[in-house]
Amino acid sequence: MTTDLGMPTVASDPHGHLRGTEPFPVAAHRALADTQLRQNLGHATRTIRAKRAAVVGEVDDWEELRRAGECVKADVMARLPELLEQLEASVTARGGVVHWARDAEEANRIVVGLVRETGSDEVVKVKSMATQETGLNEALGAAGIAALETDLAELIVQLSDDKPSHFLVPAIHRNRSEIRDIFLREMPDVDPDLTDEPRRLAMAARAHLRRKFLSARVGISGVNFAVADTGTISVVESEGNGRMCLTLPDTLITVMGVEKVVPTWSDLEVFLQLLPRSSTGERMNPYTSSWSGVTPGDGPQTFHLVLLDNGRSNVLASPDGRQALHCIRCSACLNVCPVYERTGGHAYGSIYPGPIGAVLSPQLTGIDGPDDVNASLPYASSLCGACFDACPVRIDIPHLLVQQRAAAVEAHGRPTAQDLAMRAAAAAMASPGRFSLTERVVKLGRLLSRSGRIRSVPGPGAAAWFGARDMPEPPAETFREWWGRRERS
Amino acid sequence: MSAREEVLARLRAARDVGGSTVPDVPRDYHRTGVHAPGSAAAVERLTETLTDYRATVHRVGDLDGVPAAIAAVLAGSSSVVAPPGLPGEWLGEVTATVRRDDPPLSVADLDRLDAVVTGAAVAIADTGTFVLDALAPDQGRRAISLVPDHHVCVIRAADVVSSVPEALARLAPDGPLTFVSGPSATSDIELDRVEGVHGPRRLDVVLIVPPRA
Amino acid sequence: MRIALVATCLGDAMFPQAPRATVLLLERLGHEVVFPADQTCCGQMHVNTGYLDLALPLVRHHVDVFSGAADVVVAPSGSCVGCVRHQHAMVARRGGDEKLAQAAEDLAGRTYELSELLVDVLGVTDVGAYYPHRVTYHPTCHSLRMLRVGDKPLRLLREVRGLTLTELPDAEVCCGFGGTFAVKNAETSTAMLADKMANVLSTHAEVCTAGDTSCLMHIGGGLSRLRSGVRTVHLAEILASTTEGAPA
């Protein structure tokens, strides 16, 4: 076997689901103007923040659990190849079949081939970020295989031909009455008197999917945790759609990003405490399923596990950046992010939105020159740090944002206007003499003042500030002038 | 080169560049719960957390109380499925037709049944969770506790622990496990929880709590 | 105690009242303040915009100027102290200068934000201030989540004679400044500012205070544009005020 490959370049291109088509500020402009979206997001994120705070407050060893979670994940990164080989051996020993995929296209090709072997032209799916990332549904569709999303929010997105905007609740941007309208329009057998009461909407989803579950021959899932030493796969969910997909079909195909492996079964004692409280703000989610390979007489008798790289090896090579692979997709950082709350997930372009998406997406794709829209993602944050405090595995997202900003700057081919401004500022700050000169220039700003305030300034960038904010006039005397005057007297 | 070899080679190279120092994992979180397993306080907390997530809890003082409790919660049902190893006497007072999952019932059969009665491997007081072990004869394969719309679960006080770590220590992941916390629910509409989606919409728990000696 | 002052570039050039008040307050409490005149900027803007290479000479300059200046260093800015404490060594190491990184770590261990200096180092919460106004306090993100100053500023404010403190709703949410964020993502920043201003106005305070001139420039800039009649005042200015009046 050859191992002297050196580092690969970006694993797969195009990264259609990891990269949008316009920079964040452009997409955010539209989202910010959508008042219904703003209200929906504000309501949902406020609700979940309160729920999360309440159930996290019940746990007096929360910080100890966070540190344990952080270190288990760091351990996984340090031993990732070996743990994956161990996982492969454990799953195989228990009757599963393990496949490896270099990139999204290869993963999709493997899954399409496996479904074709069953002769089925329909699959039921549990919500999975990995298969959103690979665009599996489109690949299945192109092969004549219908993929039915069964998670309620994913179903809403699929029925309305929309895109997911959140890890946990892909339809977080929709409110109850919009969901009702989508169901009335797109569900063939729906009760025409359907109201927008959430319980009635959930019942409508149950009725819509029931027959499909009971007759499904192939299920497709993602993974929350895969235990290397026992080959146990764990899927965390709420509605029971996961149990249906994992239990009733003859064939189960599970796609996982390689970083989802954990060393031992007992490591789940940490994550099964951290994840539900951070995610849905529940002490425990309604259903968590785990299985190891194939169990005679129970559940699918054919089990395939597809291990996906798709850029993860690039992320692993960064000593700090690899923390982004620690993410357990709880979405707490989205829910507390003041930027996400106002723009929603679509503005990020990638299927991984929010603070973690802003550091994960550009690392998975790499930043391809100054015009790469993913280079705008690390700047979609005020660096307020709320994400770190909420992160159940203590990913230092603010630090990673700064690091990815540095990566974005490094990708500038020729100097941009921002580069020139930053160089000028650095030069102005380089020595006390130059800084004093700068202060004298700043003082000229007093000429623009009316009643002590400046309401606009010519020049690029200024309009962005002065659109909504004034500036005080520069002082007649700087601090160092005052200090000097005092020293002399 | 196969995909397996290439992915592993990439990951090895990346891991070596990014760092291969294995950290010590601090395990100073609580590995034992606030209440002793099987204690009155643990059972009390379990009752609270189960109820909080819309399960209905029925307490009985000993095994002799189980048949009447099960019969009472199944009063409106006409058919019920039981795993092969569920004690027969538990279903002694049930008026509904009892189907044993032995030989295994088809999914279509299960869909026609009103309810399921199972035991549980362990219950977690902190979170309002019980765990079904598909290899345990009184819990049975996963489909039987999934397809019927009403689940009745019998839990012994001795199987109640406080915390998640205590529960996992009692479980072996050899066969399929299902952690259940309340009836099926969703948070997908405006991130608020509503009960009743694809899994059983009604959940009754019969707790066997012997009087304190 | 001999204390070296980081005036901060923004404080020096645009908001001299904050470093001035810091000097007058500390002197009133009996301490000697020195102002190393060679200081320029800690480099926070460059670091946080991703220009770590350009930040390196600024970090080096800051460490050179302050390392020998005094045993203790203070800045009336949570974000500048945050940069010194959590980013300077990182910038130095990334630039391959381990010696500078260690010197930066040493300096960071002796550098305090004003409320930290007063409460933790000098052990004082009642600084003898008098400020007869209705005030609400915005805990800036970096003081709150980078420095973990907690309720120290509030403990100082509660001891100020004449001051009525009103609680700011959603106080811990960012005002939307974020340095160059306010320009690069101006619309999102404005949306955050709108909510912060609404919360400030809901308190009916005359004054919104904080420990960072940059966040106050942002909030104050919005409040002024709305002609809201609410002004922003740095925490140091309130603490420096006495029955003799506000500091000159």
* B residues 63-92 closer than 8 Å to A (CB): none
- Give the residue-averaged pLDDT of A87-114: 98
Touching check for C153 and chain A: CB below 8 Å? no
Q: How far is it, in rounded angstroms, from Cα B171 to Cα B174? A: 9
Phi/psi at A357 (nearest 5 deg)?
A: -65, -35
**Domain segments of chain C: what residues?**
2-121, 134-240
The ipTM of this complex is 0.97
- Give the residue-averaged pLDDT of C11-27: 97
Q: Determine if the peptide bond prior to B103 is cis (ω within 30°).
A: yes
- Give the residue-averaged pLDDT of C115-135: 98
Q: Is residue B74 part of a domain?
A: yes
**Is 90 exceeded by the pLDDT of residue C60?**
yes
Touching check for B1 and chain A: CB below 8 Å? yes
Q: Is residue B66 part of a domain?
A: yes
Q: Is residue B193 part of a domain?
A: yes
Touching check for A53 and chain C: CB below 8 Å? no
Q: How far is it, in rounded angstroms, from Cα B105 to Cα A299? A: 13
B201 Cβ neighbours under 8 A, 6+ residues apart: B149, B150, B183, B184, B195
Contact flag B181-A280 (C-beta cutoff 8 Å): no
Residue B151, helix vs strand vs coil: strand
Give pLDDT tens digits for C84-99: 999 999 999 999 999 9
Q: How far is it, in rounded angstroms, from Cα B123 to Cα B163? A: 9
Q: How far is it, in rounded angstroms, from Cα B153 to Cα B66? A: 11
C197 Cβ neighbours under 8 A, 6+ residues apart: C219, C222, C223, C226, C228
Q: How far is it, in rounded angstroms, from Cα A183 to Cα A487? A: 76
Q: How far is it, in rounded angstroms, from Cα A130 to Cα C33? A: 58
Q: How far is it, in rounded angstroms, from Cα A146 to Cα A181? A: 23
How distant is the Cα of B156 from the closest Cα of chain A, in angstroms?
Answer: 20
Q: How far is it, in rounded angstroms, from Cα C104 to Cα C92? A: 8
Q: How far is it, in rounded angstroms, from Cα C188 to Cα A337? A: 12
For B194, the closest of A75, A198, A319 (CB atoms) is A198
Q: How far is it, in rounded angstroms, from Cα A460 to Cα A458? A: 7
Q: How far is it, in rounded angstroms, from Cα B131 to Cα B178? A: 6
- Give the residue-averaged pLDDT of A42-53: 96
Contact flag B8-A81 (C-beta cutoff 8 Å): yes
Residues found in chain C: 248
Q: Which residues of C touch A38 (CB under 8 A)?
A: 191
Q: How far is it, in rounded angstroms, from Cα B4 to Cα B32? A: 41
Give pLDDT tens digits for A317-368: 999 999 999 999 999 999 999 999 999 999 999 999 999 999 999 999 999 9
Q: Which residues of A touch B17 (CB under 8 A)?
A: 7, 317
Q: Which of C94, C115, C145 has the alpha carbon at shortest distance from C26?
A: C115
Contact flag A172-B31 (C-beta cutoff 8 Å): no
For A176, the closest of B25, B104, B190 (CB atoms) is B190
pLDDT at A413: 87
Q: Which two tokens stand for residue B116?
A: 């399921």
Q: Which of B206, B211, B210, B183 has the alpha carbon at shortest distance from B52?
A: B183
pLDDT at C248: 63
For C192, the closest of A24, A342, A423 (CB atoms) is A342
Chain B residue closest in CA terms to A240: B199
Q: Which residues of A touch C49 (CB under 8 A)?
A: 405, 409, 418, 422
Q: Which residues of C touch A342 (CB under 8 A)?
A: 188, 191-192
Q: How far is it, in rounded angstroms, from Cα A361 to Cα A133? A: 10
Phi/psi at A154 (nearest 5 deg)?
A: -65, -35
pLDDT at A1: 36
pLDDT at A459: 78
Q: Which residues of A touch C199 (CB under 8 A)?
A: none
Q: How far is it, in rounded angstroms, from Cα A126 to Cα A246? A: 8
Residue A259 corresponds to which amino acid? E
* C residues 91-110 closer than 8 Å to A (CB): none
In A11-42, which positions are buried (b, 16+ CB within 10 angstroms) versus exposed (e)? bbeebbbbbbeebbbebbbebbeeeebbebbe
Touching check for B106 and chain A: CB below 8 Å? no
Number of domains comprising chain B: 1
Question: Looking at C39-119, which runs of residues are DSSP E strands?
Answer: 72-75, 111-113
Q: Are C190 and A28 in contact (CB under 8 A)?
A: no
Helices C52-67 and C98-108: angle between axes, nearest 10 degrees: 60
Q: Are B83 and B137 in contact (CB under 8 A)?
A: yes
Report CA dihedral (C69, C70, C71, C75) to the nearest 10 degrees: -90
pLDDT at A5: 39
Q: What class is the C134-240 domain?
A: alpha beta
pLDDT at A11: 40
**Is 60 exceeded by the pLDDT of residue A14?**
no
Q: Which two tokens stand for residue B19?
A: 């760092």
Mean pLDDT of chain A: 94
Q: Which residues of C touch A399 (CB under 8 A)?
A: 90
Interface A–C counts its CB contacts (< 8 A) at 190
Residues found in chain A: 489
Q: What is the DSSP letter of B195?
A: E
Touching check for C169 and chain A: CB below 8 Å? no
CA angle B118, B124, B126 (to 5 degrees): 145
Q: Which residues of C touch A442 (CB under 8 A)?
A: 13-14
Pick the CATH number of A81-310 from 3.40.50.10420, 3.30.980.10, 1.10.3720.10, 3.40.50.720: 3.40.50.10420
Chain A residue closest in CA terms to B134: A298
Contact flag C49-A461 (C-beta cutoff 8 Å): no
In whole angstroms, how far apart are CA A233 and each of A44, A87, A90, A149, C194? 30, 10, 11, 20, 46
Contact flag B11-A198 (C-beta cutoff 8 Å): no
Contact flag B143-A248 (C-beta cutoff 8 Å): yes
**For chain C, what percent of residues have pLDDT higher than 70?**
100
Weakly modelled stretches of chain B, pLDDT under 70: 213
Q: What is the DSSP letter of C142?
A: I
pLDDT at A9: 37
Touching check for C193 and chain A: CB below 8 Å? yes
Question: Looking at C84-217, which runs of residues are DSSP E strands?
Answer: 111-113, 134-137, 164-166, 207-210
Phi/psi at C134 (nearest 5 deg)?
A: -90, 120
Residue B21 corresponds to which amino acid? T
Domain residues for B56?
Answer: 34-208
**Domain segments of chain A: what residues?**
81-310, 325-410, 417-488
Touching check for C220 and chain A: CB below 8 Å? yes
Contact flag C20-A482 (C-beta cutoff 8 Å): yes
Q: Are A262 and A226 in contact (CB under 8 A)?
A: yes
Give pLDDT tens digits for A125-154: 999 999 999 999 999 999 999 999 999 999
pLDDT at B196: 86
All partners of chain B with 3 or more CB pairs under 8 angstroms: A
**Is 90 exceeded by the pLDDT of residue A451?**
no
Q: Which two tokens stand for residue A212?
A: 């499909």
Say if strands A251-257 and A225-227 run parallel, antiparallel, or are unpaired. Answer: unpaired
Residue A177 corresponds to which amino acid? S
Touching check for B107 and chain A: CB below 8 Å? yes
Phi/psi at A139 (nearest 5 deg)?
A: -65, -40
Beta-bridge partners for A306: A99, A255
Indicate which CATH number applies to the domain containing B42.
3.40.50.10420
- Give the residue-averaged pLDDT of A279-291: 97
How distant is the Cα of B213 from the closest Cα of chain A, in angstroms?
Answer: 31
Touching check for A348 and chain C: CB below 8 Å? no
Interface residue of C40, C60, C74, C227 to substitute, partner A, most A CBs within 10 Å: C40
* A residues 379-438 closer than 8 Å to C (CB): 379-386, 388-389, 399, 402, 404-409, 418, 422-423, 425-426, 429-432, 434-435, 438
How distant is the Cα of B107 from the closest Cα of chain A, in angstroms?
Answer: 7
Say if strands A122-125 and A146-149 run parallel, antiparallel, or are unpaired. Answer: parallel
Q: Are A223 and A256 in contact (CB under 8 A)?
A: yes
3-state DSSP percent of chain A in helix, strand and coil, to 5:
55, 10, 35
Q: Which two tokens stand for residue A88?
A: 């492969």
3-state DSSP percent of chain C in helix, strand and coil, to 5:
50, 15, 35
* B residues 146-165 closer than 8 Å to A (CB): 146-147, 164-165
Helices A152-159 and A176-186: angle between axes, nearest 10 degrees: 60
Q: Are C39 and C6 in contact (CB under 8 A)?
A: yes
Q: What is the DSSP letter of C121?
A: I
In the block, tokens 């800051």 appear at: C62
pLDDT at B194: 87
How distant is the Cα of A116 from the closest Cα of chain B, in angstroms?
Answer: 21
Q: Order across the sheet with A287-292: list the strands.
A: A261-262, A225-227, A232-237, A287-292, B177-180, B129-133, B122-124, B160-161
Q: How far is it, in rounded angstroms, from Cα C49 to Cα C59? A: 15
Task: Note the Cα A116 to chain centre separation in Å.
Answer: 31
